[in-house]
Structure 1
Amino acid sequence: MEYIVGVDVGNSTTEVAVGKVNKEEENIEFITDGIYKTTGFKGTVDNIEGIINSLDSALEKVDLKYGDLDLIRINEATPVIGDVAMETITETVITESTMIGHDPWTPGGIGLGVGYTTRIEDVSDCRPGDELIIIIPGDVDFADAAVLINKAVESGIKVNGAVVQKDDAVLIVNRLNENIPVIDEVKYINKIPLNKKAAVEVARPGGTINKLSDPYGIATIFELNSEDTKHIFPVARSLIGNRSAVVIRTPEGDVEERKIPAGKLVIFGDKGKSEISVDSGAEKIMDSLEKIQPVKDVKGESGTNVGGMLDRVKETMSQVTDQNLSEIMIKDILAVNTFVPQKVKGGLAEEHAMENAVGLAAMVKTSQLPMQKIADKLQQKTGVKVVIAGVEANMAIRGALTTPGTDKPFVILDMGGGSTDAAMVTTKNQVYSTHLAGAGDMVSLLINIELGIDDLKLAELIKKYPLAKVESIFHIRHEDGSVKFFDKPLASKLFGRVVILTDTDMVPIPTKHSLDKISQVRREAKNDVFVRNSERALKRIIPTGNIRDIDFVVMVGGSAIDFEIPTLISNRLSEFGVVAGRGNIRAIMGPRNAVATGLVLSYLDTEGSVKDG
């Protein structure tokens, strides 16, 4: 009887399977398993810590020690790594304080007000009939501000709106004798130019502004000519969807839209090369990529965003593998169209405008990975013989075949954090495999950037779990519209918020976005990465290139555990008559542990015992 360990080092997690092997009876009994976050880049000696932690957690469950083990088999890790960077295509540039594209949570009042910007302490110097937009800095109390505005109106001054530094808009409006639009939370209020014509607009709750989000509306208010109207178009466009906004006219002010040099991609393949500009969008980039398959390398135009990104990826891999840059090739990219909240330059309230961007994931292939170094160090740490055993794709297939109801020919989709891998085995045991850029990490990044939450851990939770809206302290409404009631009141901090329903808690999302918007962004990110990649992968590994020529697809890996990714892929592949579903490794593990299981199972294919080795 021998104890054999299979170790699968993935991009995101390191998994272990331990089997009790009886070679005479050709029988394997799996007794424990472990999982731990991968430490360092996959295929480097930094992985040792993750392997040891995963192994320790597995052995602890069955009270085994290193000395009880006979052999550790680690996967011959495919020398590829995925990296993601977002390349912004366009940016709206606002100069000379021309605009505050500001949309605070709680503006006050309703309507459109036009007047000249005046500090509240200077109102007493104004004459009856003057039309004003009052500027209220943070050191002025809301009650005092309301008193001063009411006095000014009584004296015949037309106060048509106000801009407030603190979060006081509603408090001020509630104390006014006449309704005016008031915008608050303007951080850099001291930068607002004075004695300039300005317009303040606030829509009803649930509504959006319509005058300041329309170029002709702004042109009417500020009496602009056709040339000026062209210039303010980016301003109007970026205000669409806001509940409130301020536009200020300054003689020096100029608004222009310019292209950031996103750069060109040069794709090298067996059939020649293709050059494509990143700002032509994701669809055209992917079309160029597929036309030139198989890809040998991808380079970016020097001095541009995309050139810098691809150079960084190669340099990182060069450092971790101790190889020359010339030996490191980018074998695949995935481009996704998205929107990025760009900070408005010259803005006074840290305002943002949504701009088009292309997200890029790159898959790097090196000539080799230092797997032998990992094996030697692991053997030194544990005192157990370590061998590099089998190609990763073959091991994954071996493990996935333990899913009940599967048979050859079939395909596995291994969906991890860094890459989407696929392998096909035919009835004659021929194996075809591919490794594509883009997986779970890219989905998290797309969610993080498009929602503008600036918190990757929170984006990861949004990706992994369903959402709900807390409508009262006693009930929530789920994404599907169903309602759940609670006997005990929920925490007050959750009231009115969109929350993530994790296994143990409700996590509020600090954003203004609605439940529908967040779930839409999440699903679109998963579709753009996983559904697209599953189709790309299948077309590459199926000898005929026709997805209809296969019957079974088994989804394995960390992303196959996701609550909606397998359904999205299954729905798409069902259009081709393919049976697709989550793997259930060894009928108990679900989609995890396929490679580690395959490493243990394939031990029976080797000859002789290792007891004395």
Structure 2
Amino acid sequence: MSYIAGVDIGNSTTEACVGEVRSDGNIHFLTSASCPTTGTKGTVANTHAIKSALKQAMSKIGREVEDISLIRLNEAAPVIGDTAMETLTETIITDSSMIGHNPSTPAGAGQAVGEILLIDKLSRGVPGTPYIVASPSTYSYEEVAAILNQASDSLNITGVILQADEAVLVENRLRKKVPIIDEVSRIDKLPDGVLAAIEVALPGQTVRMLSNPYGIATLLHLDAEETRTVTPIAKSLIGKRSAVVLKTPGGNVRENILPAGEIYFDAENSSSINLDEGAEKIMQAVADAGNIYDISGQPNTNVGNMLTRIKHGMSELDQTPNADIRITDILAVDTLAPVLISGALAGETCLEKAVGIAAMVKTQKLPMQEIAEKLKLDLGTEVKVAGVEAVMASLGALTTPGTKLPLAILDMGGGSTDAAVISEDGKVTMTHQAGAGELVSMLIETELGLGDRHMAEQIKKYPLAKVESLFHMRMENGQMTFVDESIDPRFYGRVVLLAENGFIRIEKDIPMEKIVQVRRDAKRKVFVTNAFRALKKVAPGHDLKNISNVVLVGGSAEDFEIPEMLMEEFAGYRIVCGRGNIRGTEGPRNAVATGLVLSYAGERS
């Protein structure tokens, strides 16, 4: 009896499959396991994950790794699916212009216009002149309310700006109700005597006047040229519950177009394109370039620096001094990124136009034999580099019930989306495309302003719900779900992720509907786009109508909505598309590892 193991080293996960070779030469599959990949795919650091996955698999059948007769590895050339994000515009504010602000705790409603007057200078106020009173946190809410009530008899107080988080407490104590904005941390920077406009929206609504350049012009009496220059301010206030804009004599607000730079394609049809042309035109240029040998960027520009960083990351992993490091594919995606406004006084952010790029980086060096030798030394077992990844994945996918040749596969992982077509005579055509799960996570993290890649990963993986009472929640599809036992009060009123082991609370105050939209858009931009361009490359005649069956494999094929998205998109081509079920038991996982074991039987026959 001999045991044969197939090991698939992926960007994110290393998978193992073990089969028993029977006397008649057939393979009987016994066990499988997976664990996170250690190091970058195709480097010697992968050996730790390989040994861990094999140990887990063999323990399931009560055996040791040393009992394996042969370990077969996929040809995992070092390929980095790297990602980078660059904004193309930037809002800059100078000379103490201020916009704002924290939209969560204002009080009152409506708009107010007036000169800024500090609370300790109320005695200087002139009757009949409209004022917006600013109070630092050194004054308590009782003191602020008392002072304003007393001053309102003689002064025209139209609105209030507070440094502390006390707007509601102050408003409850005022005889004359006015809009109040709080949590303006840099209130000491407010210039006295300057004309300002504030707005507080009704609950559930957002500001309307100050998010409209003509609204700002109306309130602050701006001319046409001044109205044009405040457009970035209005843009930054879209979606806020409260807002404040100051009209400073020397204030300057402008939208700065950053030097995006040219992308150069060293290809069958060499060409170049500017990054600020947008993702659609960039991807058209990628398609028109044909067979790409290398991609680089214009020096000292955003895209040049971005691509240089990605190549540098690969060079740090490849110890060969003159390694031929090349970027052979990119996926560009248009997005909006919340960027801190240069010169703003209250930490305001503005959604700026950005382009996310995933790059496929390859090197001539193939250290798989080095990995094989180290494993042989560590385990005392024969190790062979046995097959090309896409070919092995196709063999494994054929064990899915209901499949037959010819067959196409989409292997959707963390760093890349790979496609292959295996014809009726066994010929395999394959391609590797940049962009997969990691780029989706980056887009989610960026567009939602999370600052937490792990949380973005969780949002990508799980559906959402809003806990609306201790006994029911509203699912993202609108369905109401009731529970028998009380929900933990920590989740009350919060958006949560429905993970396998319980709820995960979203800490940031983001509407559930926005999270759902960003998540789905990110998946469509990456996986639907890549699925079409990958399959067109490998389809006979580069026509999708020549493909009849597509099996989805890889980690991202386990996603709760990506396969359904692809099924909808392929419906117009009459393509049978769905998650693979490797060996009828593994789901979309383990295709390459299974193919490596199957190919052993094919080599012996």
TM-score range, shorter chain: over 0.9
* Secondary structure, aligned partner of 1:321: coil
TM-score in terms of structure 2 length: 0.97
Q: Is the 8 A contact 2:113 2:220 kept in 1?
A: no
Q: Is the 8 A contact 1:321 1:369 kept in 2?
A: no
TM-fit CA distance, 1:103: 3.7
Q: Is the 8 A contact 1:104 1:185 kept in 2?
A: no
- The worse-fitting range, judged by mean Cα deviation, of 579-588 and 366-375 is 366-375
TM-fit CA distance, 1:540: 0.3
TM-fit CA distance, 1:325: 5.9
- Residue 411, structure 1, aligned to residue 408, structure 2: yes
TM-fit CA distance, 1:160: 1.2
1:26 is aligned to: 25
TM-fit CA distance, 1:513: 2.6
TM-fit CA distance, 1:101: 2.7
TM-fit CA distance, 1:324: 4.9
1:353 is aligned to: 350
Distance 1:196 1:380 in 2: 76
1:43 is aligned to: 42
Query: Which residues of 2 match residues 289-300 of structure 1 at below 5 A?
Result: 289-300=286-297
* Secondary structure, aligned partner of 1:51: helix
Task: Give the partner amino acid of 1:205.
Answer: P
TM-fit CA distance, 1:131: 2.3
* Secondary structure, aligned partner of 1:99: coil
Q: Is the 8 A contact 2:325 2:361 kept in 1?
A: yes
Distance 1:25 1:279 in 2: 62
- The worse-fitting range, judged by mean Cα deviation, of 457-466 and 344-353 is 344-353
2:583 is aligned to: 586
1:435 is aligned to: 432
Identity %: 50
- Residue 265, structure 1, aligned to residue 260, structure 2: no
Unpaired segments ≥5 residues, structure 1:
609-613
Deviations 1:209-260 (A, max 9, x none): 2221222222222222222122112112222222210001111110111111
Distance 2:427 2:105 in 1: 63
- The worse-fitting range, judged by mean Cα deviation, of 328-337 and 181-190 is 181-190
- The worse-fitting range, judged by mean Cα deviation, of 545-554 and 131-140 is 131-140
TM-fit CA distance, 1:32: 1.5
Which of 307, 311, 317 is the aligned partner of 1:310? 307
TM-fit CA distance, 1:326: 6.3
Which of 367, 384, 401 is the aligned partner of 2:398? 401
TM-fit CA distance, 1:188: 1.8
1:242 is aligned to: 240
Task: Give the partner amino acid of 1:509.
Answer: I
Distance 1:544 1:135 in 2: 70
TM-fit CA distance, 1:80: 2.5
1:217 is aligned to: 215
TM-fit CA distance, 1:447: 0.4
Deviations 1:476-527 (A, max 9, x none): 1011111011233322332222211111221221233321111111111000
- Residue 112, structure 1, aligned to residue 111, structure 2: yes
Distance 1:561 1:533 in 2: 17
- The worse-fitting range, judged by mean Cα deviation, of 581-590 and 222-231 is 222-231
1:182 is aligned to: 180
Task: Give the partner amino acid of 1:200.
Answer: I
Deviations 1:165-192 (A, max 9, x none): 2221111111111111111122222222
Distance 1:434 1:34 in 2: 27
- The worse-fitting range, judged by mean Cα deviation, of 423-432 and 468-477 is 468-477
Distance 2:130 2:591 in 1: 73
2:328 is aligned to: 331
Distance 2:503 2:345 in 1: 34
Task: Give the partner amino acid of 2:590.
Answer: N
Deviations 1:379-406 (A, max 9, x none): 1221211111111111111111100010
Task: Give the partner amino acid of 2:18.
Answer: V
Q: Is the 8 A contact 1:75 1:390 kept in 2?
A: yes
Distance 2:396 2:566 in 1: 21
Distance 2:227 2:65 in 1: 75
TM-fit CA distance, 1:368: 2.8
Distance 2:322 2:500 in 1: 44
Which of 316, 320, 328 is the aligned partner of 2:317? 320
- Residue 548, structure 1, aligned to residue 565, structure 2: no
Distance 1:290 1:195 in 2: 58
- Residue 388, structure 1, aligned to residue 385, structure 2: yes
- The worse-fitting range, judged by mean Cα deviation, of 100-109 and 397-406 is 100-109
Task: Give the partner amino acid of 2:240.
Answer: N
* Secondary structure, aligned partner of 1:160: strand
* Secondary structure, aligned partner of 2:588: coil
- The worse-fitting range, judged by mean Cα deviation, of 128-137 and 465-474 is 128-137
Distance 1:253 1:510 in 2: 36
* Secondary structure, aligned partner of 2:356: strand
Task: Give the partner amino acid of 1:500.
Answer: L
TM-fit CA distance, 1:264: 1.2
Deviations 1:437-475 (A, max 9, x none): 000000010000001011111111111110111112221
Q: Is the 8 A contact 1:314 1:325 kept in 2?
A: no
1:228 is aligned to: 226
* Secondary structure, aligned partner of 1:403: coil
Distance 1:513 1:110 in 2: 22
Task: Give the partner amino acid of 1:449.
Answer: T
- The worse-fitting range, judged by mean Cα deviation, of 430-439 and 80-89 is 80-89
Unpaired segments ≥5 residues, structure 2:
none
Task: Give the partner amino acid of 1:237.
Answer: K
Distance 1:418 1:274 in 2: 26
- Residue 363, structure 1, aligned to residue 360, structure 2: yes
Task: Give the partner amino acid of 1:11.
Answer: N
Q: Is the 8 A contact 1:315 1:325 kept in 2?
A: no
How many residues of Structure 1 are paired with residues of Structure 2 in the alignment?
Answer: 605
TM-fit CA distance, 1:537: 0.5
2:417 is aligned to: 420
* Secondary structure, aligned partner of 1:46: helix
Distance 1:39 1:13 in 2: 8
* Secondary structure, aligned partner of 1:472: coil
2:511 is aligned to: 514
- The worse-fitting range, judged by mean Cα deviation, of 325-334 and 595-604 is 325-334
Distance 1:473 1:384 in 2: 57
TM-fit CA distance, 1:334: 0.4
- The worse-fitting range, judged by mean Cα deviation, of 114-123 and 450-459 is 114-123
Task: Give the partner amino acid of 1:263.
Answer: G
Distance 2:77 2:595 in 1: 15
Task: Give the partner amino acid of 2:437.
Answer: G
Q: Is the 8 A contact 1:467 1:501 kept in 2?
A: yes
Distance 1:334 1:220 in 2: 44
Q: Is the 8 A contact 2:98 2:346 kept in 1?
A: no
Deviations 1:31-52 (A, max 9, x none): 2111111111100011111112
1:147 is aligned to: 146
* Secondary structure, aligned partner of 2:541: coil
2:523 is aligned to: 526
- Residue 83, structure 1, aligned to residue 82, structure 2: yes
Q: Is the 8 A contact 1:342 1:352 kept in 2?
A: yes
Distance 2:541 2:166 in 1: 66
2:566 is aligned to: 569
Distance 2:592 2:187 in 1: 59
